[in-house]
Chain A
Amino acid sequence: MKTILYLSSKSETADRLEDSIHMALPNGDMETYHTLESLSHRLRQPLLGRSLLVLLAESEKELDAMVELAGLLDSFIIILVLPNSDRLTISKAHTLKPRFFAIMNEDFKDVVLVVKNIIYQNSDIH
């Protein structure tokens, strides 16, 4: 199963998340993108199977931009990291139908657990 990671900046949060995903997938098939344009371009290429998409939205604006891409995301298993836990933010996040979401000021231990679990659950599918 392929994993695609999106982190827009080189912030401390982005570094922590990237480290956490690497920890969850030490030998995994992973690609990382740093702009929504490059991510969007990748999503328009063949993926050949179900893939996991981990998206870090460090601001409301970035989350809005991700929601604009929703049409390209519907075949992915999505894990979202959100800028805050405001009701509106979470409500917006649910339009992307994430399997799990975390808040960016949390440690990402739960994200690691969920990624490992999803990879395990999907390891025998096609």
Chain B
Amino acid sequence: MARILVIDDDLMMCDMLSRKISRMGHTAITAHNSTDGLSLARQQSFDIVFIDVRLPDGNGMDIMPLIKQTPSQPEIIIITGLADPDGAEIAIKMGAWDYVQKGSSLMEIILPLTRALQYREEKTAVAYKVALKRDEIVGSSPQIKNALDLLAQAANTDTSVLLTGETGSGKEVFAGAIHKNSPRADKSFIIVDCAALPEKLIESLLFGHRKGSFTGASENRVGLIKQADGGTLFLDEVGELPLALQKSFLRVLQTKTFRPIGSETEIESDFRLIAATNRNLEQMVEEGTFREDLLFRLKSFTIDLPPLRMRREDIKALTIFHTSKICDRFQIATKGFSPELFDALMSFDWPGNVRELVNTLERAITAAYEEPVIYPKHLPINIRVQIARNAAVHDAQLLKNHADEENRRAAATPKVESDSENLPSYKDMREEAISSAEGNYLKKLLASSGGNIGEACRISELSRSRLYSLLKKYGLTDKNSPEEQD
């Protein structure tokens, strides 16, 4: 499913295109001026962008190069109310996929969209298969594939990336993979762990300092921002960056220049920023602990990493990969797995995500040191207890559901009288059942034949006289009787 942005102030056009795009199975998002359109293109990922030439706040062609530079690098289709050959030439030279006049039929606007989507799908598939170094990113769930698609897009651009996800979900691994797949791969990947560094150290570590600029500054020190020159700066746990420093860092992001502490001179650093957090930065903005302008800058391209419990189908592949790696480190033969082990691992919620799974596997391998196969009994006791508790809750829920279903069925079924005196004779019961079935059948027959006796005879394969006799028996020959309609 592709994502398509339509930037046009013509509401009718937006509506028509959106409905057509939705019917094609894609997602359409609309903006009605160039500012909103550009902002959306910078914040979200799009495959195709339709841009109207005349927009209330300027010429749509002016934002085309900016949109092409956004992380998803969408194909652009220019739409115009008044086509002119010069405009078409300029659009194509600027890299537009096509230039279409609005007066054309909707199909003529949709055709280039279909072609552009085909091209993009093939291009992405080739790039993904050939180029992406996955590093330790293991799994084939739709969630991880989606994150990998975004990783591939991010690696091909130079924009800032924000990685969000729970502790242990692999943010640092993803950051490293973006760097390794980017044109900056042969330069440094510098980690700044905002949670590990005490507040009073972060500023001098980031910006560097001149000798004597403060007590303890016994030597000049090159800051981490400068060390990342040409490479990637990974700001881990960015939510912990002190508020006072956020303003200075925002300026560095905007200008790529900064002044080391105690220095008179501004220096430059051409770095690419990747930030990561497990905090809700929007909420921090509301609480006044994180700057909105910095957040806006950081989230220009966001990759949200799924927690492990949301991609349980990857647990088996992760287990095999990390078991092999741990056994390699321990210099022992790799282990086999009992089927019950995978069942157990997949039933656990893994609040610490992949990191917790890896720690658990290390403990299990240690417990099974001499044995060739890992069983659930080798898992740490706290994990086994939790798995057993989850299973008990699950079983209890199944039993409850079963009991509820039985009760529901019992309530819906007429009670069978246990009193034998109330039972009818077999003959009476049979006649009553037949009468009821015949009456219902005849009502349905009349309904489906529209009251046409000829048609009713054809469907029921009854003779006309027999049908009339039955209709009379069940009181179905009133003033709207089929006789009058036949």
Residues of A within 8 A of B (CB): 43-50, 72, 75, 77, 85, 87, 90-91, 94, 97-100, 103, 105-107, 109-110, 113-114, 117-118, 121, 125-126
Q: Are B198's CB and A85's CB within 8 A?
A: no
C-alpha spacing A84/B172, complex, angstroms:
27
Q: What per-residue 1/0 map shows which CB atoms of B301-333 lie under 8 Å from chain A?
A: 000000000000000000000000000011100
Q: Which residue of A lies closest to B176 (CB)?
A: A97
Q: Are A99's CB and B193's CB within 8 A?
A: yes
Given contacts A48-B362, A94-B191, list 19 more A-B pairs with CB under 8 A: A44-B329, A45-B330, A46-B330, A46-B365, A75-B358, A91-B227, A94-B188, A97-B191, A98-B191, A99-B197, A100-B193, A107-B216, A109-B216, A110-B201, A114-B196, A114-B197, A118-B196, A121-B195, A126-B352
Residue of B197, B218, B330, B363 near A100 (CB, 8 A) is: B197
Tell me the count of chain B residues lying within 8 A, CB to CB, of chain A.
Answer: 31
Residues of chain B lying within 8 A (CB to CB) of residue A109: 216
Is B149 part of the binding interface, using a Cβ–Cβ cutoff of 8 Å? no
Residues of chain A lying within 8 A (CB to CB) of residue B197: 99-100, 114, 117
Residues of chain B lying within 8 A (CB to CB) of residue A77: 196
Q: Are B329's CB and A114's CB within 8 A?
A: no
C-alpha spacing A47/B200, complex, angstroms:
32
Is B366 part of the binding interface, using a Cβ–Cβ cutoff of 8 Å? yes
Q: Are A99's CB and B188's CB within 8 A?
A: no
C-alpha spacing A75/B361, complex, angstroms:
14
Q: How far is the CB of B223 from chain A (nearest CB, A)?
A: 11
Is B190 part of the binding interface, using a Cβ–Cβ cutoff of 8 Å? yes
Known: A44-B331, A98-B191, A126-B356. A103 touches B216 (CB 8 A): no
Q: 11 A-B pairs, CB-CB below 8 angstroms?
A: A43-B329, A49-B359, A77-B196, A90-B227, A97-B189, A99-B196, A106-B219, A107-B216, A114-B201, A125-B352, A126-B356
Q: Are A121's CB and B196's CB within 8 A?
A: yes
Residues of chain A lying within 8 A (CB to CB) of residue B216: 107, 109
Residues of chain A lying within 8 A (CB to CB) of residue B205: 100
Q: Which residue of B lies closest to A106 (CB)?
A: B218
C-alpha spacing A106/B363, complex, angstroms:
39
Shortest 7 CB-CB distances between A and B: which pairs? Answer: A46-B366, A99-B193, A99-B196, A113-B198, A94-B188, A118-B196, A117-B198
Interface centre among A47, A49, A75, A105 (most CB of B within 10 A): A75
Q: How far is the CB of B233 from chain A (nearest CB, A)?
A: 11
C-alpha spacing A77/B359, complex, angstroms:
14
Residues of chain A lying within 8 A (CB to CB) of residue B110: none
Q: Are A94's CB and B352's CB within 8 A?
A: no
Q: What per-residue 1/0 map shows which CB atoms of B199-213 lie under 8 Å from chain A?
A: 011000100000000
Residue of B167, B189, B227, B362 near A47 (CB, 8 A) is: B362
C-alpha spacing A97/B189, complex, angstroms:
8
Q: What per-residue 1/0 map shows which CB atoms of B201-245 lie under 8 Å from chain A?
A: 100010000000000101101100001000000000000000000
Q: How far is the CB of B229 from chain A (nearest CB, A)?
A: 10
C-alpha spacing A77/B189, complex, angstroms:
16
C-alpha spacing A34/B363, complex, angstroms:
27
Q: How far is the CB of A45 from chain B (nearest CB, A)?
A: 7
Q: How far is the CB of B367 from chain A (nearest CB, A)?
A: 9
Q: Which residue of A lies closest to B200 (CB)?
A: A113
Q: Are A50's CB and B196's CB within 8 A?
A: no
Q: Are A99's CB and B191's CB within 8 A?
A: yes
